[in-house]
């Protein structure tokens, strides 16, 4: 099957794959060639693309996945190779979002702070999984 991962800025991945795993809002979904057509919303998290000889990881901030029997398209506002994630920046953003949630009485948008927290936690999980996979 052909997999395309696209952000608002650019195409992140386009190529053949044997399997894809994505963070649908209902839970992680696995997609193999010939999968039943469907569309689902994505939450923030890791998209894993398996080819004949390797597995690549990508981070998406959420978005949409469209599945056809021979083509899978992942559309996200933010998408990047997992190796490009900055753990220190994600940890700092997580602390800021947690602090904003504690001070919800202020003029902070509570839903925005919760969404930012979910994104940073997903980034950190992606980094940790990548590090564990590499044996570091």
Whether residue 128 sits in one domain with residue 90: yes
By residue range, what is the domain housing residue 11? 2-82
For residue 74 the two structure tokens come to 């992942």
Whether residue 100 sits in one domain with residue 121: yes
Whether residue 93 sits in one domain with residue 47: no
Whether residue 17 sits in one domain with residue 50: yes
CA distance 30 to 95: 32
Give the pLDDT of residue 65: 97
How large is the average pLDDT for residues 94-122?
70
Report in angstroms the alpha-carbon separations of 45 from 33, 103, 107.
Answer: 22, 26, 28
Whether residue 38 sits in one domain with residue 19: yes
How large is the average pLDDT for residues 16-22?
97
Whether residue 123 sits in one domain with residue 97: yes
Give the pLDDT of residue 126: 77
Number of domains in the chain: 2
Whether residue 78 sits in one domain with residue 38: yes
Cβ(39)–Cβ(4) under 8 Å?
Answer: no
Burial label, 29 (beta-carbon count in 10 A; 0-12, 13-18, 19+): middle
pTM score: 0.72
Q: Assess whether pLDDT exceeds 60 at residue 58.
A: yes
First to last CA, the chain: 32
For residues 130 and 16, the model is more confident at 16
Whether residue 70 sits in one domain with residue 15: yes
For residues 75 and 90, the model is more confident at 75
3-state helix, strand, coil in the chain (%, to 5): 30, 40, 30
CA distance 125 to 118: 11
Whether residue 94 sits in one domain with residue 57: no
């Amino acid at each position: 099957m052909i997999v395309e991962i696209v952000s608002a800025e650019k195409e992140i991945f386009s190529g053949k794959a044997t399997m894809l795993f994505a963070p649908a809002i209902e839970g992680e979904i696995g997609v193999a060639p010939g999968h039943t057509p469907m569309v689902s919303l994505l939450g923030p998290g890791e998209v894993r693309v398996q080819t004949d000889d390797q597995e690549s990881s990508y981070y998406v901030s959420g978005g949409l996945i469209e599945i056809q029997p021979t083509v899978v398209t992942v559309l996200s506002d933010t998408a990047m190779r997992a190796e490009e994630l900055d753990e220190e920046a994600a940890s700092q953003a997580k602390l800021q979002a947690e602090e904003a949630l504690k001070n919800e009485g202020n003029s902070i948008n509570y839903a925005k702070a919760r969404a930012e927290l979910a994104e940073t936690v997903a980034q950190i999980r992606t980094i940790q999984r990548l590090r564990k996979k590499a044996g570091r």
